[in-house]
Structure 1
Amino acid sequence: MSAGLPAATVAGLYRAACLAELDALKPGNVHAYAPGHRMVTADFVTSAEVSAPPLAARGARVGARVRGGVEATMEAVGQNTNLGILLLCAPLARAAEEDAPLSDALSSVLAGFDASDASDVFAAIRRANPGGLGQAARHDVTDTAAVPPLRDAMEEAAPRDRIARAYTDGFADLFTIGLRALAKARETGLAAPWTTTAVHLAYLTTVPDSHIARKHGPDRAEAVRAEAATRLRGLDLAQDNAVAVLLDYDRALKAAGLNPGTSADFTVATLFLETLLCARGEAA
């Protein structure tokens, strides 16, 4: 049986995943090679540090972890830098405490939300006020008088939001896209941070980015996915020209105001999941 991890270990792995993602060149996002969207890497470094304790608080429910992380982040940097990261990493952190295999523990976490989880997650979303949030016909987060069960709200949002979908499909993208891309990158001889770039590109070219969809519409999100798949097809991250190619695309996306933030969120969560599995002695 797998052994649960202590809070200090979970917090350390979470911080490491956040920082590793920043070191990678990810077209359209904030990273060590270039800022963007009125944000710099220092904002994200601070956010990782202050959100780690609530994210890893042993015994805390998922909603409390997300809300605590968002509140700490907003107090420290004054803007939303990690709502999506926290929504993806909080269930993983809670599952990592359990003595069951991580995938089984994650399934139990996703099936075991209570009213406080919904209330806290909705409050965190309102506090972060992510770009392009808009309003929903049902289960709108701004409706504080009628908070639905978290699972119901995520199922309602799943067709338009990849993070919400993760709550309904057992975080399938992390396993079928993220971990596979990470393993493949290592098999080809890549080392970090290029393995992280490979994970980000796998998300960017495989599924339309939800952050782009919220701000610019689903058609634009799909167009960006298709363009990325075409533009980056055959790119060898081990070659010297990879930096120039990716930075050129990075500038183009930022000039158009396009930020594939959900792809970055899933990249962090992939790194976090993989290190949790390794720390617990489970195969990634």
Structure 2
Amino acid sequence: MAEPLSEQIARAFIAACEDELAAPKPGNVHIYAPGHGMEAQDFIASAAAAAPHLAAADASVGARILGAVEATWARVGCNTNLGIILLCAPLAHAALRAGESGLAEKLVATLDSLDSSDADLAFRAILRASPAGLGSAPQHDVAAPAQISLREAMALAAERDLVARQYANGFADIFGLGQEALRDARARGRDRETATLLVFMTYARHFADTHIQRKFGEKVALETLTRFQEAASLLDAAHDRDSMFRIALELDRSLKKSGYNPGACADLTVAALFVDYLLAILPNVHKNG
């Protein structure tokens, strides 16, 4: 009997999270080094807890987000994965949509269908997770009842948050930049861990990380962007995995010493890996009944 699609999606989410942890992403938690008071096992446990809620067969996007966040808190007692959940919930919902359209098209339809109830549930999840540097907004603050759709609310935050920006641009950076980096790494014969590192570095060299910006300000975020661009150039010139990992881990130690965590770029990396897994699953859905 074929495995239900919801279970395949849950496994894909867990696999994407584990892949992200297996690469030495500078400044983030990974299997080579803890960071910011957390260890890789916290994120592995969080992925397992969140997966069934993200991939539930008949749930709204908002319900997926809130269920996954609450399950994460029940398991690990801290915010390990809010950005990941906010990105992967609409992707999981899109993958479960009926029809012959591709994943990107289904994702746009999912984003277009979001309403104020999705926003209410997502706001509750964000308040529960209490992310660093959340602050408040003059309009449509997450502490107040939602009066607009979740996509509209995210669009208002798009300039200051890379995760929110994906809701506004149809996940263009996930389906575009992320998938291109993954394909390029594979074409160059990179293994899974190195390919994941290169996807992360692609985001980190293109964007000033908005998690760092919220916590430390724009100046630090831009300085960190420059450091990532310099490290990425070194990675471009490196030819073997060991050299690439040494470069990444040297920057990792330096960033963690300062407390800088490029968490938004890590969130985008998980989403890009999740899309890659979903694209491998979806062509087989109709063949498997």
Task: Normalising by structure 1, report the TM-score.
Answer: 0.94
What amino acid is aligned across from residue 243 of structure 2 in structure 1? N
Q: Which residue of 2 aligns with 1:137?
A: 138
Report if aligned partners of 2:126, 2:142 keep a CA contact under 8 Å in 1: yes
User: For each residue in 1:142-166, what CA deviation from the matched residue of structure 2 results, as whole angstroms up to 9, or x when unmatched?
Assistant: 224x543222211110111111110
Partner Cα distance (1:271, 1:244) in 2: 23
Q: Which residue of 2 aligns with 1:60?
A: 59
Report if aligned partners of 2:54, 2:92 keep a CA contact under 8 Å in 1: yes
Alignment of 1:1-284 (within 5 A): 6-98=5-97, 99=99, 100-144=101-145, 147-235=147-235, 236=238, 238-281=240-283
Instruction: Give the 3-state SS of the residue equivalent to 2:278 in structure 1.
Output: helix
Partner Cα distance (1:267, 1:45) in 2: 15
Instruction: Give the 3-state SS of the residue equivalent to 1:31 in structure 2.
Output: coil
Partner Cα distance (2:242, 2:11) in 1: 32
The Cα shift of 1:241 comes to: 2.2
What amino acid is aligned across from residue 132 of structure 1 in structure 2? G
User: For each residue in 1:193-213, what CA deviation from the matched residue of structure 2 results, as whole angstroms up to 9, or x when unmatched?
Assistant: 111011011111111111111
What amino acid is aligned across from residue 233 of structure 2 in structure 1? R
Report if aligned partners of 1:22, 1:32 keep a CA contact under 8 Å in 2: yes
The Cα shift of 1:234 comes to: 3.3
Report if aligned partners of 1:194, 1:237 keep a CA contact under 8 Å in 2: no
What amino acid is aligned across from residue 249 of structure 2 in structure 1? L
Partner Cα distance (2:214, 2:178) in 1: 22
More displaced, 216-225 or 193-202? Answer: 216-225
Report if aligned partners of 2:175, 2:275 keep a CA contact under 8 Å in 1: no
Instruction: Give the 3-state SS of the residue equivalent to 1:255 in structure 2.
Output: helix
Q: 1:102 to 1:27 in 2, by over 3 A?
A: same
What amino acid is aligned across from residue 258 of structure 2 in structure 1? A
The Cα shift of 1:132 comes to: 0.8
Report if aligned partners of 2:117, 2:149 keep a CA contact under 8 Å in 1: no
Identity of aligned residues (%): 46
Report if aligned partners of 2:207, 2:225 keep a CA contact under 8 Å in 1: yes
What amino acid is aligned across from residue 49 of structure 2 in structure 1? V
Partner Cα distance (1:137, 1:212) in 2: 22
What amino acid is aligned across from residue 247 of structure 2 in structure 1? V
Instruction: Give the 3-state SS of the residue equivalent to 2:234 in structure 1.
Output: coil
Partner Cα distance (2:269, 2:78) in 1: 20
Instruction: Give the 3-state SS of the residue equivalent to 1:193 in structure 2.
Output: helix
User: For each residue in 1:85-131, what CA deviation from the matched residue of structure 2 results, as whole angstroms up to 9, or x when unmatched?
Assistant: 00000010000012222111111100001222011000000000001
What amino acid is aligned across from residue 265 of structure 1 in structure 2? D
Query: Structure 2, unaligned stretches of length 5 or more?
Result: 285-289
Instruction: Give the 3-state SS of the residue equivalent to 2:20 in structure 1.
Output: helix
Query: Structure 1, unaligned stretches of length 5 or more?
Result: none
The Cα shift of 1:216 comes to: 1.1
Q: How many pairs were matched up?
A: 277
What amino acid is aligned across from residue 93 of structure 2 in structure 1? R
Partner Cα distance (2:150, 2:281) in 1: 29
- Ranges of 4+ aligned residues in structure 1 off by more than 6 Å: none
Partner Cα distance (2:153, 2:267) in 1: 20
